Structure formats: C-alpha cells, structure tokens
Structure 1
C-alpha cells in the first residue's frame, strides 16, 4: 500500500513517541491524586480574591514587566530585522531566542539579584530574537509594487517608510499584540524564580495547600488575558509603555562588582580559572557530559517527542469543539472557553499544578505541554475549518470529520505542529526546574551549587539543541511543502 509523505512522517513520529514511552518516567506517585485534583477544582470554583495581600500589586507588576520587556524586545527586534539577511545576525538571533526566559532570569539573578532589570532583560532578550525573525519575514513578503511608483532618486529610508511599512503594518501590529499576550505569560512565570509577579504568589498558595487563593489568581490571570482587546488600545499604548517602568518596583541595588566577577571568573570553567592544564579541562568537560549533559539531553528529547505527538492527538480531538461543522452554539462556546483556558495557561504553571497533584514524573509535563500547545493549534485549525464550504450532501458525524475536514486541514495541522516543535523543546528543557530530569534540572542544580561554569555550558547545550530542532522542523516543512494556510 502506498503511503503519502505526510502520512509516513506522521507514522514515524508516532512510532518514535510510542518507543519513548518505554523509557520515560510516566507515573502518578501521590497517595490520593483524585482527592487532590478535586480540592483544586473546588478551589477554582470557590476563589478567594481578598485573602492574599499584594495580589493587586503582583498583577500590576506582571503587566508592567510584560509591557517593558515586550516593548524593548520589539524595538531591538525591529532594528535586527533590518539586517537579518546577514548570516551572523541570524545566528545571533537564533541563539538568544533558543534560551528560555527563565534561563535568562536565572543568569541575571546571579549578578543583578532581584532587581527589575532581571525580569525586563529576561523577557526582552529572547523576544528580540523572535521579533527579528518574524518581522524580517513579514517585511520580506511586502508587495514591491508601490516602491516602483515613487519618484526617481527617492532615498532608501523614505522608500521603506512610505511603501513597506504601510503594506506590512497590519501584520506587524497583529503579531506584536500576540507577542504581548505571550509576554504576560512569561512575566507571570518569572515569579517562580522569586520576582514579584503572579507566579510567586501562585507558588506560595499551592505550597501551603491554599487552593481557593490559587484559584483566584488563575481566574484573574485568565481575565487579564481574555480582556486584552478591551484594555490594550492603540491610543493608550504610549501611556502604558511610558508608565510601566514606574510600576516595576525598586529591588535591591545592583552591585556592579558582582557583574564583573560573574563574567570574568564565575562562568570560566574551573580548571582554567584555577590555572590547570588541558588534561584537567578535558576531564572536567567529560564528567559534565556524562553525569549531567547526556542524561539531560536524553530526557529532554524523550519528553519532547512524547509531548509533540500528544499535542497532535489533542489538536485533532479538540478542533471540532469550535468548528461550525459540528454541534450547536452552546457546544462551540464551551469549546472556545476550554481552548482559551488551555492556551492561556503557561505550560510551566500547568506543569507545576499537576506536579503538586500527581507527584514528580514526566506525566504532568506531557499533559501540560499537550494542553497548552494543543489548545493553540486546535484553535487555529478549528478556525480554518470554518472557512471550508461543504457540499449540501456532505456526510455528517464521524465521516464528515474523517473524510471531509481532516484531509483538508491535515497539511496545515502538520505545519503548525512542526512549527511548535522547537517551542515544545524550549519548554521541556525549562520544566526541569520543577524537578523533572531534563536539562533544566541540571542547570538549576548547578546554579544552586554555585557552579556557574557548569550551568552556562548546560544552557549553551540547551540552546544548540533547540536550534537543531528548529532547523530540522523547518527542513521537514520545506521538504513536505507544508504551509500553515491551506492552498487552493
């Protein structure tokens, strides 16, 4: 039987994920997980909005860090996008965006401490690389026609401002608004490393078993995300951007001597710092690779592949929830609510909650990654099916799903899935901070032991792994000619 290339690659990834399950730690280890899950849902159903002091301040600082970080990242990303065609710039941008915001925060905490600059730079630096890539792609797709209508001798800057920017303005604005939503999620999880955002209070409430307080924080966060179109207006953006720095808080003063020592001593491999030779450096590196890097890489790849396929399965199950071709308005409204909650909750927060309820294993991470990314792709695919016109005699029910809709959106579905592959890898690595044995676990352990040289090597390995997955994902999309929008 002849199989199409898309079906062959799908089956290959499915087989890899099934094989990975035999090596993965997938288990529920708590004594009574269903009771704990019930207590959590009861806490969400009975939120306590008034018991936590400083909750309003935490929300305000979550918004402030997001606005300042995204504004700085978009400005730097736009400038980088203008020279993105140069190979060294592309490599630089790929590197800084391959390192997760929490890893950047852990780095800056070592010499800036709990200063607002730590949170701002942790968001702004990786977002600069992301903005540079996306902005450059948008600008490259601008219609060249208007530029030919300008008078001879028009300067490059004038041509750019009067032709390319107006043609791309809607796409630039739309993507920046989406990235602001991502910035709010990134800002919230910075609280898990001690910064005064929502995640700090959420972690405190969960660790004390105060589920009503935790439920109140989650509801406020969902409301904050869902109402972005209502309170983020173009006319108000200058006010938000100019005012946000004043709500970041003060933090501890920066000791610039610590900054100099970090870069000149702390991150230098110990054998070189102690004046030892290449033999000792080789032994140091071999020990790092065998005891930390290789186990971390193995577990990161296992978890990534399982989560990727789980995301795909959840997407195929979820998109009918919001498709006009199935059910009535009540079902579609419920589906929209479910997908909004799934995609609005950061994977890190979802994994943290599930770890408290189910115990430490890869299972909470798989479910968290699948729910978040499946919610995003399911929403996009569901909206795409709403543009499909079916013939009057089209089948109904399962046959409509399997014979009419899935074949038409499957290539777009795969394109989105491989696009999210590298993002799932980034999140998989950082989830190690929660105690799962991915690369993030070993990075966090090295930092806790004040072995910054080992931590920096592990972060570099994480970045290279992410870049490799990104390159492989783009190669597969190009080889299969996959597009996120269906072709005619």
Structure 2
C-alpha cells in the first residue's frame, strides 16, 4: 500500500511539474480588453431571460434530445456487439481511432458527404460513441465473475456464453454507463449546433455573437434544466416510444448530390498523390507535417496539460462542497447546483464567454476546460465520498477533508484524471473553432478553404495524438494500480 501511495504521489508530482514546464511556452497572454460593459449586459440578460422565445426553444430542444437519443441507442448496440470481439487487435485499433476524433470533426467530415442534414448529426455522435461503448463495455464484461460459465455446456458457442453468463452480471453497470453517455450525447448534440445543425448550440452561438444575452440566458437555463432533470423525464421503460418520437422530430434534410466514395477516394488526397507524383507528394506531406501539424500539435498538448492540472485542482477544492460528508444541507445544494452548471455547460460555450472577457489567447480555453472537467470530476468524487463508511469518532470539518476523505478518494481521483486526460486533449483540439491556435483552428480553416487533403491529414494527426496520450495514460494507470486501489 505504501508503495502504491508513493507511485500516486510521483505521478501527481510529474503532472504538476510538466504543467509548470509548459507555462513559459503556452499562449496565456492577457490582452487589454474592457469586459465590464459586456459583463453587465450578461448579468442583465441572466436576470431577465427572454421567456417569450419558446417557439424557438422547443424545436431546438426536441432536436437536441432526438440526435442524442438516437445516436446513443445505435452506438450502444454497436458497442455491445464490438465488445464481444474486443480481443481482436483490429477491433481495438478501430475503436481507438473512432473515439480519438471529436464529434465536431466527425460532423465536419460527414457534412461534406451528407450536407447539413440529420444523417450528419447522427453519424457525428454515433461513430465516436460506438468506440467508447465498445471499450468500456468490454472492460465491464471482463470484470465479471467467470464462475457462471462453468454451468454452461462446453459445446456452447462464444455468443451463448456472452449472452447467458456475462451480460446478466454486467447489465446494471452497462445501463449506468449508457445513462452517463446519454448525458454526454446531449452536450455533444448541443455543441454540433456550432457547425450549423439546428440544436440548442446553434441558437446559443447566434445569441452570444449578436449580444442577445437575454436569449442566451434562456437557452442556457433550458439546457441546465434538461441535464439536471434527466432522471425525472427519461423513463427506460418508455425507450421505444422515445425513439419513435425522436425519428419524428428530426429536422428535414434537403437532398445532397454528393458521393462518399468520391470524397474518401479523391477529395482527401493531395493532387500529387492522385497524379502519382510521389516526390511532390512527399514534399507536400513534409511541409504540412512540420510547418502546420507539429506546431499545432505542440500548442494543443501545452494547452491540454495546463487544463488537466487546473481541472484536478478545481476538483479537489470543490468536491467537498457537494458532499454530505462535509457540507451542510443548504451549502451542499448550492455546491451541487454549481457543479451541475460547470459539468453541463459545453466547453465551447465556456471558452466563448472567456474569450469575450480575457481576449484572444489560450488562457480562456485553459480556464474553460479546467472549470468544465474539474466540475465533472468533483461531481463524481462527491458522489463516491457519500458512499464511504466513516467511524463514529471520525474527524470533522477540514480535518475530515484532509485526513479522511481525500486520502481514501485519491486513487479514484487519479484514475479519473488519467481518463479525462485524453478527453481534455480532444476538447482542446476543437477549441480551435473559436480561434485558439490548436489543431482544430487549422482543421476548420482547411474545411472553409475546401482543402480537404490538409483537413484529413490534420484529423489523422489529431487522432494519433489522442491515441498516444490514451495509451500512455493506460500505462500510468497500470503503474499506479489505480483501478485496484479505487475499488478498495
């Protein structure tokens, strides 16, 4: 146990030191802005939301839920099937590649084939979520007891053993994770509005850009209410009814004359490759990799590393305010409400707000990512802290936080941080859509300039970067034995 504690401390020190080393190279400049008038307008908008825009809100709300529900239903089924063959290296690599690319980038890809349509929105969520479901479902199934398999005939095939021994044991955990991914899908569906799909995010971006903060406040309050009341309005026994209604409310799509084969076989390849001029092709790839992709990847990593450490700091400092083990009832409700706002607000929206207040640099993105992910980790820590059994003579107040709860939760905290590391990196990349010079900035520019070859290359670089970080995080997790310690 002492050795494991030293390893956790060493890993924590490594991440803190790496963030300090990143500080001199990161773009965290403060620009002279006058945010007070804008802050006053935002505050007035929050205090006086536009309650008369329900005709605009209801269709966007329904379509946000429809995209999320249909995509999660499809990706959960695909993930369940892939979990059966997750032992295959090809399947593992395929799932890693799909989940390494953010939903917005998938949306930009499918938009070139299917246009601004319901198909684009569904596939943008379904493809990466299928990879996530397959990975987590396979891990959950691997944790189940092998003893029931002994009661099954030896002649039974793999599918029968899968259905009759592993699935029944893992079913509660599979349902719990699916509910969590549905909340994530609601955020993803909202964010897809930033690339033009008619979800809440589309109207949020429009309201913020036009300075209509009363409308923005209404949309945000509706979104917070949507996330915070999932357990009340979503009843699993009515899932088939919800799915039928979701198909009905999907936006109508105009016919698009495009060819997926043409896009993937020609458009994403540079002209030198299509013409067979390999020396010119090598020169093009060399220029794109070392002049564009590498500097952007470094900026993305710097931003993600700083945001990761900030997330951890925020989580450790805030989880106690939402835990019944530390906070009184009134304070706890306020703490849970604040964490709900932080974890529910998409990072793109938070970054947009901080860009208005702090100017164009990487600092707004770091703060936004830290608040969003820190709020999510704090929520999970607070929830787990309430399940801990304390002695009757356990310390109280600050001593309980420092000497009782935090040490017992620390392995789980490190586990969550390592899991969120790859997620923060993906989110750092997409913040380029707002002008932050990460990989997403150059990907978005390439799509706008109809340079699909450059966009495809940068998306591949983004995926490889995420896969590399995810692989390193898994090695650190095994080194620290955080999965075992977190269960103790």
Structure 1 residue 443 corresponds to structure 2 residue 443: yes
Cα pair 2:35 2:356 within 8 Å, conserved: no
Cα pair 2:79 2:133 within 8 Å, conserved: yes
Give the corresponding residue for 2:191. 189
Q: How does 1:410-421 map to 2 (within 5 A)?
A: 410-421=410-421
Structure 1 residues 394, 230: closer, same or farther in 2, change over 3 A?
A: closer
Cα pair 2:84 2:162 within 8 Å, conserved: no
Alignment counterpart, residue 233 of structure 1, candidates 232, 235, 251: 235
Q: What SS class does the counterpart of residue 402 from structure 2 fall into?
A: helix
Structure 1 residue 51 corresponds to structure 2 residue 75: no
Q: What SS class does the counterpart of residue 29 from structure 2 fall into?
A: coil
Q: What SS class does the counterpart of residue 436 from structure 2 fall into?
A: coil
Alignment counterpart, residue 14 of structure 2, candidates 12, 17, 21: 12
1:359 Cα shift?
A: 2.3
Q: How does 1:53-452 map to 2 (within 5 A)?
A: 53-150=55-152, 153-154=155-156, 156-257=158-259, 259-273=260-274, 275=275, 277-452=277-452
Deviations 1:320-339 (A, max 9, x none): 11223323111111111111
1:138 Cα shift?
A: 1.5
Corresponding pairs, count: 485
1:484 Cα shift?
A: 7.8
Deviations 1:380-430 (A, max 9, x none): 212222233444554444333222222222122111101110000110111
1:11 Cα shift?
A: 1.6
**For residues 457 and 387 of structure 1, what CA distance do their matches in structure 2 show?**
46
Cα pair 2:433 2:440 within 8 Å, conserved: yes
1:73 Cα shift?
A: 1.0
Deviations 1:340-381 (A, max 9, x none): 111111212211222233322111111111111111111121
Q: What SS class does the counterpart of residue 84 from structure 1 fall into?
A: coil
1:76 Cα shift?
A: 1.3
Q: Which is further off, 119-128 or 406-415?
A: 406-415
Cα pair 1:415 1:484 within 8 Å, conserved: no
Q: What SS class does the counterpart of residue 186 from structure 1 fall into?
A: helix
1:61 Cα shift?
A: 0.7
Q: TM-score, normalised by structure 2?
A: 0.95
Cα pair 1:412 1:484 within 8 Å, conserved: no
**For residues 69 and 182 of structure 1, what CA distance do their matches in structure 2 show?**
11
Q: What SS class does the counterpart of residue 218 from structure 2 fall into?
A: helix
Cα pair 1:30 1:357 within 8 Å, conserved: no
Give the corresponding residue for 2:455. 455
1:54 Cα shift?
A: 2.5
Q: Which is further off, 119-128 or 342-351?
A: 342-351
1:23 Cα shift?
A: 1.4
1:267 Cα shift?
A: 0.7
Deviations 1:94-141 (A, max 9, x none): 000100000000011112111111000000000110011111111222
Q: What SS class does the counterpart of residue 15 from structure 1 fall into?
A: helix
Q: Which is further off, 108-117 or 192-201?
A: 108-117
**For residues 416 and 70 of structure 2, what CA distance do their matches in structure 1 show?**
29
1:460 Cα shift?
A: 0.2
Deviations 1:307-326 (A, max 9, x none): 00000100110111122332
Q: Return 5+ residue gaps in structure 2 as ranges.
A: none
Q: TM-score, normalised by structure 1?
A: 0.95
**For residues 228 and 385 of structure 1, what CA distance do their matches in structure 2 show?**
22
1:160 Cα shift?
A: 3.1
Structure 1 residues 277, 228: closer, same or farther in 2, change over 3 A?
A: same
Cα pair 2:7 2:479 within 8 Å, conserved: no
Q: Return 5+ residue gaps in structure 1 as ranges.
A: none
1:262 Cα shift?
A: 1.4
Structure 1 residues 286, 153: closer, same or farther in 2, change over 3 A?
A: closer
Q: What SS class does the counterpart of residue 291 from structure 1 fall into?
A: helix
Cα pair 1:78 1:135 within 8 Å, conserved: yes
Q: Which is further off, 311-320 or 279-288?
A: 279-288
Q: What SS class does the counterpart of residue 290 from structure 2 fall into?
A: helix
Deviations 1:200-238 (A, max 9, x none): 100110111000100000000111111111121112100
Structure 1 residues 262, 330: closer, same or farther in 2, change over 3 A?
A: same
Cα pair 1:343 1:372 within 8 Å, conserved: yes
